[in-house]
Chain A
Amino acid sequence: MSDYILETTGLTKEFKGFAAVSDVNLNIRRGDIHALIGPNGAGKTTVFNLLTKFLPPTRGCILFQGQDITHEAPAATARRGLVRSFQISATFPHLTVLENVRIGLQRKLGTEFHFWKPERTLDVLNSRAMELLADVDLTQFAGTITSEMPYGRKRALEIATTLALDPAMMLLDEPTQGMGQEDIARVVDLIRKVSANRTIVMVEHNLSVVANLCDRITVLQRGSVLAEGTYDEVSKNPQVLEAYVGSNDMNDAHH
Chain B
Amino acid sequence: MNTQASHASHGQLVKPTRSNTVFLVLFALGLVAPFAVYPTFLMKALCFGLFASAFNLLLGYVGLLSFGHAAFLGVAGYVCGMMVRDAGVTPELGIVAGTAAAASLGWVFGKLAIRRTGIYFAMITLALAQMVFFLALQMKATGGEDGFQGVPRGHLFGLIDMNNNIAMYYLVFAVFCIGFFVIHRTIHSPFGQILKAIRENEPRAISLGYDVDKFKLIAFVISAALAGMAGATKTLVFQLASLTDVHWHTSGEVVLMTLLGGLATVFGPLAGATVIVTLQNELADKVGSWVTVIMGVIFVLCVLMFRRGIVGELQALVKR
Contacts and interface: CB of A to CB of B under 8 A. Distances in A.
A92 B197 contact: yes
Given A90-B203, A95-B200, A115-B185, A122 B193 contact: yes
B207 to A, nearest CB: 5
Nearest to B6: A94
A176 interface: no
Given A90-B201, A145-B10, A165 B209 contact: yes
A116 B209 contact: no
Contact of B189 (A76, A85, A95, A119): A119
A115 B6 CA distance: 18
Contacts of B188: 118-119
B190 A103 contact: no
A242 to B, nearest CB: 35
A79 interface: yes
B204 A92 contact: yes
Contacts, number: 113
Contacts of B203: 54, 86, 90
B209 A79 contact: yes
A113 B193 contact: no
B209 A107 contact: yes
A116 B189 contact: yes
A122 B194 CA distance: 12
Nearest to A103: B197
A161 to B, nearest CB: 7
B23 to A, nearest CB: 15
A220 to B, nearest CB: 22
A50 to B, nearest CB: 14
Interface residues of B, number: 33
B207 A91 contact: no
Interface string A100-114: 001110110101111
Interface residues of A, number: 40
B128 interface: no
A69 interface: no
B210 interface: yes
Contacts of B5: 94
Contacts of A86: 203-204, 207
A55 B189 CA distance: 32
A75 B207 CA distance: 6
Interface of B: 2-3, 5-7, 10, 185-186, 188-194, 196-197, 200-201, 203-212, 214-215, 218, 222
Interface of A: 52, 54, 73-76, 78-79, 83-86, 90-95, 99, 102-104, 106-107, 109, 111-119, 121-122, 145, 161-162, 165
The 9 closest A-B pairs by CB, nearest first: A94-B6, A115-B191, A78-B209, A92-B200, A90-B204, A79-B209, A115-B186, A111-B190, A119-B188
